[in-house]
Amino acid sequence: MPNRNNRRKEKTPRGNVGPQETGASPGGWGRWILPLALLLLLLAFMSSTRKEQGTRIPYSVFKGQVEAGNVESVEAESDKLWGRLRQPIEVDVPARGKDAPVKETVEEYRTTLPPFGDEQLMAQLEAANVEVISHGEGSQWFGSIMIALLPLGLFVGVWFLLMRRAGRQLGGYSAITKSRAKLFSLERPRTTFDDVAGAHEAKADLKQVIEFLQNAEPFRRLGCSVPKGVLLMGSPGTGKTLLARAVAGEAGVPFYSITGSDFMEMFVGVGAARVRDLFEAAKRTAPCIVFLDELDSVGRRRGTGIGGGHDEREQTLNQLLSEMDGFEENQNIVVMAATNRPDILDPALMRPGRFDRRIVVDMPNLADRKDILAVHARHVPLDEGVDLAVIARGTPGMSGADLKNLVNEAALLAAKQGKSKIDASDFSEARDKVLMGSERQSLHLNDEERHAVAHHEAGHALVAFLAPHSDPIHKVTIIPRGQALGVTQQLPTDERHNYTRSYLKARLNVLLGGRATEVAALGSITTGAENDLVQATELARKMVTSWGMSDRIGNVAVEDRSGSVFLGEQLAQRRVYSEQTAREIDIEVKRLVDEAFDNAMGFIQENRNGLEVLAEALEQREVLEGKDIEELLSGAGAAREREAVAV
């Protein structure tokens, strides 16, 4: 359909919607008044002084040089005379800041006729064979007039600027109500599905939208209605905005992009006016896509704010609902939006006729991560030994944005070391930096602290190696990274989407392994287990209140999931259980944590030799890979227990 695309390209405006489309605003030339006045003043000054050259001398001295035949030329304009002497002379010239005049050699002179004139001067000049040049008085008149009119011009210019600023303050409402949406037209580089790796299910759902935007006639002949609103839901960094731009690129239509916060302003009614302006611009360029990013900032459930339903955000949402349900049948406009909080959106947004198609953009799996890495690695030089499949296997849980950042960090590390290509070690170091934080090389531990941190991390590693259903160890380090003095990193072998109680209990065992080691091996506990205790307590509470993994509480979700749209959500949550149940929850949470501590203590006491081997190796080498830990513990006689049936 080339002809159709060409027609669309001609009518597609460029730039931003609103004031940016129309260029300069009326009266925009006002800012040039002051520079123009200064330029005219400069011209007037130059016209009045450009021909006056040389040193000023008294008229009597000039007249004496004429009689002596020492004047070579004279130029005259009005009462001003200037020119050259045949032989330089010395003249007493008044000096600023001195009582007595100073001698100055004069070759080029200038002087002024006396007020009563000199009728004999011309005859004397002719007799002395002096070259005489006469200038008209036009330029002098011009300079005099401009100098006289300059104060009036400055006054008018300042008055105009002040009135224009006052007009913006008093009558600028029409400008701030313009939509701030950015329009990506066809002349710009387009994003297509080739630039979006993974998200195969989302792409399949969006292809129907592309077909509708390219040619809506087959859909109308069958009497079907293509969804007007498409809501992309997913975690941050999964590529929701990129998918929306890819739909516009595949369909070859204009793409209006705006965030929910761009509708909000300090003046009442501005948000609703911007919504109207946005959809009016979209109707003029249909077929097109209107993309609302971070929809939850303006589309939160109504009736939850202070003051009822009359706040500015709710009025903006009301206008958005009205515009989405007010399209005519022949207008090919698709509204797309992205959010990572679909649970707090107003129900009116989700009903049929508005955002009736909801597409979940999941976190990438192993195959998707490999494809995403390949997309971002296209523009960087890779060493032949780099295997993207291996890198993808070691990055579970990373989003597309995380993987892009991983490639960039690897490139930065390679550039820092002066390499011409990025190798596998750069990716390994970049992954550790992303997952565990940057190395804090300026932080030096004393021998006692180093000994305690080594035993703490060795305890985590030992329990992770021995506990059934635990993820394999990837790396253990006692080099301070981020906010931690040491880190034990585990990576799952397979993609996990559902977690068993046995797996979560193994996770609790590993979290309490560091504290158990402090008690068993050091004889004193430290503050290094703070984060471990926080994570263990939160995980145990989730197991009891949300996932029904406590025999004492039973298969009951006692946590209120209805949610609150306030920022202080935990403060606003309703309690849906009694005080007795709350006490039972606390008892169960403590029981799970204590049970995990006892299990970890048992692993450590039964394998003290392996613990000391690991701790000593960490103190010497600072970093141990997973295979190194397995060799050390196997050599020390530690053997991983047979995994029981997961429950």
CATH number at residue 345: 3.40.50.300
Q: Retrieve residue 449's tokens.
A: 């602290």
Active-site residue set: 457
Q: Retrieve residue 244's tokens.
A: 């929306």
Residue 641 lies in a domain: no
How confident is the model over 449-474, as a mean pLDDT?
90
Question: Around 557, how many Cα atoms within 13 Å sit in the side-chain half-sphere?
Answer: 6
Backbone φ, ψ for residue 360 (5° rounding): -90, 125
Under DSSP, is residue 560 helix (H, G, I), strand (E, B) or coil? coil
Residue 600 lies in a domain: yes
Give the number of other CB atoms < 10 A from CB of residue 634: 13
H or E element in which residue 64 lies: helix 59-67
Q: Please answer whether residues 601 and 611 qualify as being in contact, where contact means their C-beta atoms are separated by less than 8 angstroms.
A: no
CATH number at residue 513: 1.20.58.760
Kindly tell me the burial class for residue 378, based on how many C-beta atoms sit within 10 Å of its own C-beta (0-12, 13-18, 19 or more).
exposed
Kindly tell me the burial class for residue 61, based on how many C-beta atoms sit within 10 Å of its own C-beta (0-12, 13-18, 19 or more).
middle
427 lies in the same domain as 451: no
Under DSSP, is residue 230 helix (H, G, I), strand (E, B) or coil? strand
Q: Does position 14 have pLDDT exceeding 70, yes or no?
A: no
Task: Catalogue the long-range contacts made by 131-138 (C-beta closer than 8 Å, 24 or more residues apart).
Answer: 131/72, 131/73, 131/74, 132/73, 132/74, 132/75, 132/76, 133/73, 133/74, 133/75, 133/76, 134/75, 134/76, 134/77, 135/51, 135/75, 135/76, 135/77, 136/77, 137/77, 137/78
Among the residue ranges 16-20, 452-456, 508-512, 516-520, the one predicted with the least confidence is 16-20
The Cα 344–Cα 360 span in angstroms is 16
Higher pLDDT, 338 or 157: 338
Q: In the beta sheet, which residues pair with residue 289?
A: 255, 334
Angle (CA) 166-170-175 rounded to 5° is 105
| CA distances for 34 relative to 29, 37, 143, 148, 557, angstroms | 10, 5, 18, 16, 72
Average pLDDT, the chain: 77
Q: Retrieve residue 106's tokens.
A: 């004069």
291 lies in the same domain as 382: no
The Cα 122–Cα 132 span in angstroms is 9
The Cα 195–Cα 197 span in angstroms is 6
Residue 567 lies in a domain: yes
Query: Given this model, what pLDDT does residue 539 score?
Result: 94
Q: Does position 76 have pLDDT exceeding 60, yes or no?
A: yes
158: Cα separation from own chain's centroid: 39
Buried b (16+ CB within 10 A) or exposed e, 192-201: ebeebbbbee
Q: Which of the four pLDDT bands, split at 50, 70 and 90, describes residue 98?
A: low
- Residues 267-322: pLDDT tens digits? 556 667 777 777 787 778 777 888 888 888 777 777 655 444 446 677 777 777 77
pTM of the model: 0.63
> Into how many domains does the chain fold?
4
Query: Given this model, what pLDDT does residue 585 score?
Result: 92
The Cα 405–Cα 471 span in angstroms is 25
273 lies in the same domain as 370: no
Residue 44 lies in a domain: no
Q: Which of 395, 415, 436 is where one domain is finished?
A: 436
Which residue segment(s) compose the domain that 354 sits in? 180-361
Backbone φ, ψ for residue 87 (5° rounding): -130, 135
How confident is the model over 323-343, as a mean pLDDT?
75
406 lies in the same domain as 306: no
Q: Please answer whether residues 285 and 254 qualify as being in contact, where contact means their C-beta atoms are separated by less than 8 angstroms.
A: yes
Higher pLDDT, 369 or 189: 369
Query: Given this model, what pLDDT does residue 560 score?
Result: 57
- Residues 569-607: pLDDT tens digits? 444 455 677 888 889 999 999 999 999 999 999 999 989
Distance between terminal CA atoms of the chain? 58
90 lies in the same domain as 120: yes
H or E element in which residue 141 lies: helix 138-171
- Using CA of residue 7, residue 10, residue 16, residue 17, what is the dihedral sign? negative
Q: Does position 234 have pLDDT exceeding 70, yes or no?
A: yes
Q: Retrieve residue 211's tokens.
A: 């077909």
Query: Given this model, what pLDDT does residue 50 score?
Result: 47
Q: In the beta sheet, which residues pair with residue 358?
A: 231
Residue 60 lies in a domain: yes
Higher pLDDT, 109 or 437: 109
485 lies in the same domain as 605: yes
377 lies in the same domain as 325: no
Question: Which letter does DSSP use for residue 86 in this model?
Answer: E
Among the residue ranges 57-61, 96-100, 126-130, the one predicted with the least confidence is 96-100
105 lies in the same domain as 82: yes
Backbone φ, ψ for residue 223 (5° rounding): 75, 15
Q: Which of the four pLDDT bands, split at 50, 70 and 90, describes residue 164?
A: low
Q: Please answer whether residues 66 and 131 qualify as being in contact, where contact means their C-beta atoms are separated by less than 8 angstroms.
A: no
Q: Please answer whether residues 515 and 529 qualify as being in contact, where contact means their C-beta atoms are separated by less than 8 angstroms.
A: yes
Query: Given this model, what pLDDT does residue 46 score?
Result: 57
Q: Please answer whether residues 591 and 584 qualify as being in contact, where contact means their C-beta atoms are separated by less than 8 angstroms.
A: no
Among the residue ranges 93-107, 288-302, 349-363, 458-472, the one predicted with the least confidence is 93-107
Q: Which of 342, 361, 380 is where one domain is finished?
A: 361
Under DSSP, is residue 333 helix (H, G, I), strand (E, B) or coil? strand
Query: Given this model, what pLDDT does residue 480 score?
Result: 85
Q: Which of 436, 458, 476 is where one domain is finished?
A: 436
Question: Which letter does DSSP use for residue 120 in this model?
Answer: T
Residue showing tokens 């979700």: 557
Q: Retrieve residue 196's tokens.
A: 């979006």
CATH number at residue 123: 3.30.720.210
Backbone φ, ψ for residue 13 (5° rounding): -70, 160
- Residues 348-385: pLDDT tens digits? 888 877 887 888 888 888 888 888 888 888 888 898 88
264 lies in the same domain as 377: no
Q: What is the 3-state secondary structure (H, E, C) of 280-332?
A: HHHHHCCCEEEEEECHHHCCECCCCCCCCCCCHHHHHHHHHHHHHCCCCCCCC
Torsion from C-alpha of 479, 482, 486, 492, nearest 10 degrees? -110
Residue 288 lies in a domain: yes
556 lies in the same domain as 480: yes
Q: Does position 643 have pLDDT exceeding 50, yes or no?
A: no
Edge-first strand order for the sheet with 182-184 is 182-184, 255-259, 288-293, 333-339, 229-234, 357-361
The Cα 287–Cα 251 span in angstroms is 10
How confident is the model over 320-340, as a mean pLDDT?
74
Residue 557 lies in a domain: yes
Query: Given this model, what pLDDT does residue 464 score?
Result: 92
Angle (CA) 356-360-364 rounded to 5° is 165
Residue 150 lies in a domain: no
Q: Which of the four pLDDT bands, split at 50, 70 and 90, describes residue 540?
A: very high
Query: Given this model, what pLDDT does residue 568 score?
Result: 44
Q: Does position 566 have pLDDT exceeding 50, yes or no?
A: no
Higher pLDDT, 170 or 196: 196
Higher pLDDT, 512 or 29: 512
343 lies in the same domain as 392: no
Highest mean pLDDT among 52-66, 231-245, 507-521: 507-521
Query: Given this model, what pLDDT does residue 270 score?
Result: 66
415 lies in the same domain as 349: no
